[in-house]
């Protein structure tokens, strides 16, 4: 009993900080969202029913979720081959690769995002190359499309996926792959039956980070997505800073929180099936 009491008191400082800086604002937010009018005088669920009763807002939630899932899928598609390549590279190549992988984290989000504008714009790099090579007769629309946004998010969030994936894959016994090959399995079978299941814990960690940050990537979403694509973060900004409808903005915020949480819980639930031992 005494030991338990000591443990509790040791956790108190951090607990108080959490309470003051995390739980309290959250409750405040929830409280604001439960107000019916903009002056916060009347309680009511009016804003919640307004949000969920409107197909447009439901569509925004759906688009945000889809953006997160798309970012995770596209990032995974490139992360696994990259991680495999990394694990098989010589130590010197690995050092260079790690630098390249970390590079997006070393630049400011704003700069990275504007760089993507230069690349994806109508007269941008991609279009000039595509036109010059005759791959396309007219310039491709990349800015303000979901494709362009997912592409940019993939580059920006690749380190979040790669780092956990690499750290798990580096811990795998290289003999496992050899054992699989010697037993008659080709490269693809070996990958799907041995490497993929054994690296799932790393992927789940990476996918959680990518999903959460893609859903909430306000700057990338608004700069590359522009006004045409509306996601929850820009909706919150618009409602809070332009319309000044705080209760409604609070509803959007809580919804975004729950949306991201739902995705993370899905991934966690997947993680229970990825127990490798």
Partner 1 sequence: MSQQLLLNGIVHSYGASRAVDDVTLEVKAGELIALLGPSGCGKTTLLRIVAGFIRQAAGQVVIGDRTVDDLPPNLREVGIVFQNYALFPHMTVAENIAYGLVARGVGKADQRARVAEMLATVRMEGFADRKPRQLSGGQQQRIALARALAVQPRILLLDEPFAALDKNLRLDMQIEIKRLQRQFGLTAILVTHDQEEAMSIADRIAVMNSGRIEQLGSPVAIYDAPATPFVNSFIGSSNILDGVVEDGRIRLSVGAVLPCKAPDLPQGKAVQVSIRAEQLMLVRDAAPDRFPVTLTLSLPIGGQLIHDVAASDGTTLKIATARHPGDASSLPGTWHCALTPEARPSIFPQPTP
From 104-112, 134-142, 162-170, 184-192, span contacting partner 1 (CB under 8 A): 184-192
Among 182, 227, 241, 242, binds partner 1 (CB under 8 A): 182
Provide the H-helix boundaries in the chain: 2-18, 24-33, 46-53, 55-88, 91-106, 109-120, 125-132, 146-170, 174-182, 187-190, 196-215, 218-225, 232-237, 246-273
Residues 186-245 within binding reach of partner 1 (CB under 8 A): 186, 189, 193-194, 197-198
Among 6, 184, 227, 242, binds partner 1 (CB under 8 A): 184
For partner 1, give the closer residue by CB, 182 or 241.
182
Torsion of CA 112, 96, 196, 272, to 10 degrees: -60
From 57-65, 109-117, 121-129, 170-178, span contacting partner 1 (CB under 8 A): 170-178
Q: How far is CA 256 from CA 10, 103, 253, 259, in A?
A: 33, 29, 5, 5
DSSP bridge pairs for 35: 43
d(C-alpha 107, C-alpha 44), whole Å: 44
Please tell me whether residue 176 binds partner 1 under the rule CB under 8 A.
yes
Please tell me whether residue 73 binds partner 1 under the rule CB under 8 A.
no
Please tell me whether residue 134 binds partner 1 under the rule CB under 8 A.
no
Residues that bind partner 1 (CB under 8 A): 173, 175-176, 178-186, 189, 193-194, 197-198, 275-277
């Amino acid at each position: 009993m005494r030991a338990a009491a000591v443990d509790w008191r040791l956790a108190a400082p951090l607990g108080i900080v959490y309470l003051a800086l995390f739980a309290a604002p959250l409750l405040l937010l929830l409280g604001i969202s439960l107000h019916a009018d903009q002056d916060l005088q009347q309680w009511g669920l009016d804003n919640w029913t307004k949000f969920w009763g409107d197909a447009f807002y439901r569509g925004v939630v759906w688009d945000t979720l889809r953006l997160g899932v798309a970012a995770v899928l596209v990032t995974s598609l490139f992360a696994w081959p990259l991680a495999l390549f990394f694990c098989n590279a010589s130590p010197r190549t690995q050092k260079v690769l790690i630098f390249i992988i970390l590079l997006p984290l070393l630049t400011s989000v704003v700069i990275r995002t504007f760089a993507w504008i230069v690349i994806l714009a109508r007269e941008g790099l991609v279009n000039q190359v595509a036109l010059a090579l005759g791959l396309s007769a007219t310039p491709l629309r990349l800015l303000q499309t979901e494709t362009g946004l997912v592409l940019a998010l993939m580059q920006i969030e690749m380190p979040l996926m790669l780092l956990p994936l690499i750290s798990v894959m580096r811990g795998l016994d290289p003999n496992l792959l050899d054992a699989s090959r010697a037993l008659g399995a080709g490269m693809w079978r070996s990958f799907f039956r041995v490497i993929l299941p054994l690296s799932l814990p790393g992927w789940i960690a990476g996918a959680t980070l990518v999903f959460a940050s893609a859903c909430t990537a306000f700057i990338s979403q608004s700069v590359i997505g522009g006004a045409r694509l509306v996601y929850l973060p820009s909706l919150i900004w618009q409602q809070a800073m332009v319309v000044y409808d705080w209760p409604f903005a609070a509803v959007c915020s809580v919804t975004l929180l729950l949306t991201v949480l739902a995705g993370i819980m899905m991934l966690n639930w997947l993680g229970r099936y990825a127990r490798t031992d």
